[in-house]
Amino acid sequence: MRVAFVTEVDWLAGVQDAAAAGADLICLPLLSFGPYVADSLDRGGYEKAERAPSPCYTRALEAAEGAWLAASSYESEGEGVFYVTGRLGRAGQGERLLWRQRYLDQWPGRYEPMFSTPGHLPAETIELKCGPVGMLLGGDLRSHEAWLSLSDLNVRAVVCATADPGDLWDKTSSVAASMALLHGFTVLVANRGQDGSAGVAFDPRGEPLDQVTPGIVELEEAA
């Protein structure tokens, strides 16, 4: 099963390129279709929200040409109600995984509680060729409770999306490797690419998976 990470600013072109490379699953970073709105105390960030369900996600599904797509959107569900919503689905497939970021970062440069409501959906999975898959977003990746909720569902892989610069990215990827080892997951993390990386993947031993080409890894299919 071929997994591609898309971290380009031009997300539509990135999705199209991943589909052309034969990806079965395409993973985009946190707030896949726009800027990271919580980097400053600017109320103008609210204007970047899309009405749920995200029209950009629908466009990305079409561009994925039958591949599964994991992406997250800044969505408004009514006056003053905003979520960071992740979806994993594919065009023409009725079933879709839905997850809303539950653990929000709050410190200078990351003002997520100002812009988002914590998600309250129960953890769930969707069946892909590699087995049951779950999703985590942003600060969820640094919450052991979030990982435990997926461990209870016996997931085979966790698709993650973040927007972490510098030292925070180092911390997040270290936690992801540790959780892969602790729970026996394969962990796939798409970052916004501030460090020039094209995403990272860890096997159930917490070891980085080799990339077939930059931004592409191969997973074994479930027996």
In this prediction, residue 188 carries a pLDDT of 98
Q: Is 214 exposed, middle or buried (0-12, 13-18, 19+ CB in 10 A)?
A: exposed
Distance (Å, whole) CA 5 – CA 200:
8
Quickly count: other Cβ atoms within 10 Å of residue 38's Cβ. Answer: 25
In this prediction, residue 137 carries a pLDDT of 98
pTM of the complete model:
0.95
Helices (H) and strands (E) in the chain, counts: 5, 14
Distance (Å, whole) CA 220 – CA 56:
30
pLDDT tens per residue across span 163-188: 998 889 999 999 999 999 999 999 99
**Do residues 185 and 123 touch, judged by C-beta distance below 8 A?**
no
Residue 77 backbone zone (phi > 0: left; psi -120 to 50: alpha; other: beta): alpha
pLDDT tens per residue across span 86-102: 999 999 887 799 999 99
In this prediction, residue 93 carries a pLDDT of 80
- Ranges under pLDDT 50 in the chain: none
- H/E segment holding residue 2: strand 2-5
In this prediction, residue 223 carries a pLDDT of 72
